[in-house]
């Protein structure tokens, strides 16, 4: 989670919502990392998770990431949950809950919805949640 927090801080430093993600291989090595770039790239899909998944698929030359763990500072949204499922990510670890748009247990629970035609990843929630949430709260407080 420390590496994901570092990515989130990079996002905040560039004026983006501070969300960071890291994709780890089966032996824990970092395959890819990303942070939000929606504003700079003028890309509504520029979420940390999407960017990390894209980079990992290119690095591994494989779109299936079933033996990988995605670590992200904020609960994935619906778009990111869909991408996680499409990539067949085996485990998702996240920090802060997203009570407005979360799709891993707060508002929706797409990642664990067995009705979808994808393998269900293991989900570990609330890792360093206070620290992840504080980064977001500080970011938005500064903009008010």
Sign of CA dihedral 71, 72, 74, 80: negative
Residues 6+ apart with CB under 8 A from 113: 120
| Whether residue 16 lies in the annotated active site | no
Active-site residue identified among 2, 16, 29, 49: 49
Q: Which of 94, 104, 40 is nearest to 17 (CA)?
A: 40
Known binding residue 77? Answer is yes
Q: Which of 89, 99, 100 is nearest to 126 (CA)?
A: 99
What sections of 35-107 are H helices per DSSP? 38-41, 48-60, 78-86
Q: Which residue has the tokens 């779109």?
A: 63
Known binding residue 35? Answer is no
Known binding residue 68? Answer is no
Helix H or strand E encompassing 93: strand 91-96
Binding residues: 47, 77, 80
Residues identified as active-site: 49
Binding residues for Zn(2+): 47, 77, 80
């Amino acid at each position: 989670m420390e590496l994901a927090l570092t990515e989130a801080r990079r996002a905040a430093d560039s004026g983006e919502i501070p969300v960071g993600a890291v994709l780890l291989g089966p032996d824990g090595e970092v395959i890819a990392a990303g942070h939000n770039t929606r504003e700079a790239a003028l890309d509504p899909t520029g979420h940390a998770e999407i960017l990390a998944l894209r980079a990992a698929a290119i690095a591994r030359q494989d779109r299936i990431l079933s033996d990988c763990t995605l670590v992200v500072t904020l609960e994935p949204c619906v778009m990111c949950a869909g991408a996680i499922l499409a990539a067949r990510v085996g485990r998702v670890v996240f920090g802060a809950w997203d009570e407005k748009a979360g799709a891993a247990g707060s508002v929706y629970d797409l990642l664990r919805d067995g009705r979808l035609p994808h393998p269900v990843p293991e989900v570990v929630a609330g890792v360093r949640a206070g620290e992840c949430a504080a980064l977001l709260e500080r970011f938005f407080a500064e903009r008010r």
